[in-house]
A and B are shown apart, each in its own frame.
Chain A
Amino acid sequence: AQKITQTQPGMFVQEKEAVTLDCTYDTSDPSYGLFWYKQPSSGEMIFLIYQGSYDQQNATEGRYSLNFQKARKSANLVISASQLGDSAMYFCAMREGRRDSSYKLIFGSGTRLLVRP
């Protein structure tokens, strides 16, 4: 069965510094996608970054980068130059890749990030 594990319930980071949020996953499907979402206190889930299982390079989107280590089944999110507005819950999620699947997302339990001024 697919599973996402986020072992850091909460993290602090100083403004302007970088922070890494951990995510490990488990799947027997060779084709899968990994996503990171941000959830501010207002509730909406905001897509940040995507990494495909066959992608050779680590994904980057502005200040977000994904440290993808396939053999270790980890997909850590790195946020560079943290801003106060980065304070939120962060969720790692996996999408299975079978052609007949629903392509639903399996989420981890999240990490609450607080950026200190």
Chain B
Amino acid sequence: DTGVSQNPRHKITKRGQNVTFRCDPISEHNRLYWYRQTLGQGPEFLTYFQNEAQLEKSRLLSDRFSAERPKGSFSTLEIQRTEQGDSAMYLCASSGNLRVMNTEAFFGQGTRLTVV
């Protein structure tokens, strides 16, 4: 499968625990994005990587959130001390660098986080 892959697909965690999600983008894509989608809403931008550099972070990304993309390949999103408000679908997307404006972002199937 050459699409964007996210693991795990589902995660249930107790409040206060740390969780980490992984995203494997399409191999030749240098742009990687994380979005968060709550029930009944559209995805909201969290952060953006170009290769290994994290170039933009949303105000939604509190200090408890950290994302990395070592070596410009896969990316991880960690949430520390989870809160019930963190329950959401976390989507990863990647896109290439050619003709950026009309190049669609390819999304993974997401990781659904439930904080109990």
Contacts and interface: CB of A to CB of B under 8 A. Distances in A.
Interface of A: 4, 31, 33, 35, 37, 42-47, 50, 52, 91, 93, 95, 97, 102-110
Interface of B: 31, 33, 35, 40-45, 48, 50, 55-56, 89, 91, 93, 95, 100-102, 104-110, 112
A6 to B, nearest CB: 8
Q: What DSSP secondary structure best describes chain B's contact surface? A: strand
Contacts of B31: 102-103
Contact of B101 (A4, A42, A97, A104): A97
Given A42-B109, A45-B93, A91 B42 contact: yes
Given A44-B107, A47-B106, A102-B55, 15 more contacts: A33-B101, A43-B89, A43-B110, A43-B112, A52-B101, A91-B42, A97-B101, A103-B95, A103-B101, A104-B45, A104-B56, A105-B35, A105-B93, A106-B45, A110-B41
